Amino acid sequence: MRTIRLVLGGTALLAAMLVAGCDDGNDTANTAGTPAAAAATPQATSTATAGATGLPADAKETCTKLDADIKAALGRVAKATKIGPPAGHSAVSAQYSAGAAGMYVHTFTSSDAVNNAAKQVATAMTQLADAWAKNPKQKPSTAELDAAVTQVHTVCRAG
């Protein structure tokens, strides 16, 4: 029962965070001619150009936080895995869900590359949470999560 509350609570938290990050697209403070708007365009923050121009200060700070939060989330998943079946499977799912929710906090920088990399990690964690919840007897592949974490490190090193 407690696990169900954790999973449902994590899902509700994730939904609240997603809704809080939405806007109506009428941001009049940033016009196409301002440096902040130029930094937010995908062309200005692609991995190829990020190395030449560097990441904005907020994105560099977010990269540091992302790394720490990914390590913490994976550490909690590892502890939950040690619990073993059947309760451990639900705990693993809940920890991946919580980790995904935490990643969405990092998707509001001025760097689209960092934002997208954080979203990829969150999506991969959500998929793993769902996989553990659907079939707890079969350990799902973490290949997508590993690739997403590598993408975060690549984007952050480029800056």
Radius of gyration over alpha carbons of the chain, in Å?
17
Mean pLDDT value across residues 41-67: 66
Triad 113, 96, 84: Cα angle to 5°:
150
Q: Which residues of 33-70 are buried (b: 16+ CB within 10 A; e: fewer)?
A: eeeeeebbeeebbeeeebeeeebbeebeebbeebeebb
**C-alpha to C-alpha distance for 80 and 104, rounded to whole angstroms:** 22
* Top-confidence range, 13-27, 52-66, 143-157: 143-157
Determine contact, residues 112/146, Cβ cutoff 8 Å.
no
Map out the domains of the chain as residue ranges: 56-159
Q: Compute the half-sphere exposure of residue 48: CA atoms within 13 Å on the CB side of its CA.
A: 2
pTM score, two decimals? 0.66
Cβ proximity of 157 and 63 under 8 Å: no
Structure-token pair, residue 35: 């440096």
Q: How confident is the model at residue 19 (pLDDT cuts 50, 70, 90)?
A: very low
CB 127 within 8 A of CB 144: yes
pLDDT digits (tens, 9 = 90+) for 112-143: 999 999 999 999 999 999 999 988 778 899 99
Is the pLDDT reported for residue 12 higher than 70? no
Q: How confident is the model at residue 68 (pLDDT cuts 50, 70, 90)?
A: very high
